[in-house]
Amino acid sequence: MIAENTQTQMRKGILEYCVLLIISKGEIYASDIIAELKKARLLVVEGTLYPLLTRLKNNGLLSYNWVESTSGPPRKYYLLTAEGKEILNKLDITWMELSYAIETSKQTKS
């Protein structure tokens, strides 16, 4: 039970970073973000993703464009703002530092 809780917390902790990474590749639709997260084995449902996207947008990290769809209503495509790119760069550095700390800890294991 303790391991499962820790695993869940670790996934939650990197979800925002992963979403920013995915969006940094170019304009993307929310369901495509979910598909990318599933490919990475970070299973996320719409009920988790949409509030996160709204929070990132409200914090100035994302913007969106409405694009007409041939098969229904217009779709909202997300992209990083300049501030979002800055934050992503900072998160990249933090990820490298954390990865180094983990690998170093593994090597010093007795």
Question: Is 32 in contact with 78 (CB distance < 8 Å)?
Answer: no
pLDDT at 22: 97
Distances (CA, A) of 11 to 67, 70, 83: 31, 35, 24
pLDDT at 13: 85
Question: Is 32 in contact with 38 (CB distance < 8 Å)?
Answer: no
Q: Per-residue pLDDT tens for 58-89? A: 999 999 999 998 888 999 999 999 999 999 99
pLDDT of 108 over the 90 cut: no
pLDDT at 35: 94
**Unique residue bearing structure tokens 């914090």:** 59
Spatial distance between the Cα atoms of 79 and 109, rounded to a whole number of angstroms: 42
pLDDT of 109 over the 70 cut: no
Spatial distance between the Cα atoms of 4 and 11, rounded to a whole number of angstroms: 11
Distances (CA, A) of 5 to 38, 48, 74: 20, 17, 39
